[in-house]
Structure 1
């Protein structure tokens, strides 16, 4: 199994979500996050909502079968891309085990 984490511009979340859902991947987690990227500017300000930067990003997390990794990454890449600086980044990690909290049993997704 794989865990895919994508940090994207918040206004692109719905595009990514709808395309993932239409492709058969409706289960994901979306979180509000903050990011600095390469932080080349000294003008970054402390925000009242974010503790470090004023650059909001959305984090999308998906756990999937190994065989679905490329499809999901491709959808996120296509739908989150604006062509502007700071479009985001995608990380893919191995998932060793999954347990259902309801019954404590090991599970396949």
Structure 2
């Protein structure tokens, strides 16, 4: 099993959710986060004063999946989140050792 963590632009969340649903992903966790990478933030104008926004709003998605779904899920996220501009985000894949569904006690693949 794998844990996919994707950091994407907030306005792409609905597109990514739809793409994941189409490839059979039954659940995701989405968190509003702030961060920066190569973008290094940007400057904005507010009431005539210029200020620097260092941390940009992003959405972090966490998806637990079976090993055989990894490439399909990565392709779905990449395709739906891509704008072709800097700051589109990143996808991280990590091994997932154990899952337990609290309600039923199911474990691992049965709990996904």
Measure how far apart 1:91 and its partner are. 0.2
Measure how far apart 1:38 and its partner are. 3.0
Q: Which runs of 5+ in 2 are unaligned?
A: 44-51
Aligned-residue CA RMSD (Å) = 1.9
Larger Rg: 2
Q: Which runs of 5+ in 1 are unaligned?
A: 46-51
Matched residue, 1:16: 16
CA displacement 1:7-65 (0-9 Å, x = unmatched): 000000100101111221131111101111136468534xxxxxx72x10001111000
After superposition, residues 1-109 of structure 1 pair within 5 angstroms as: 1-38=1-38, 40=40, 44-45=52-53, 53=55, 55-108=56-109, 109=112
Matched residue, 1:49: none
Q: Are residues 103 and 26 of structure 1, via their aligned partners in 2, closer, same or farther at CA, if it must alter by over 3 Å?
A: closer
Q: Stretches of 4+ moved more than 6 A in 1? A: none
Q: Are residues 103 and 11 of structure 1, via their aligned partners in 2, closer, same or farther at CA, if it must alter by over 3 Å?
A: same
Q: Are residues 76 and 41 of structure 1, via their aligned partners in 2, closer, same or farther at CA, if it must alter by over 3 Å?
A: closer
Equivalent pairs, count? 102
- TM-score of the two chains, using structure 1 as the length reference: 0.83
- TM-score of the two chains, using structure 2 as the length reference: 0.81
Conserved in 2, the CA contact under 8 Å of 1:7 and 1:88? yes
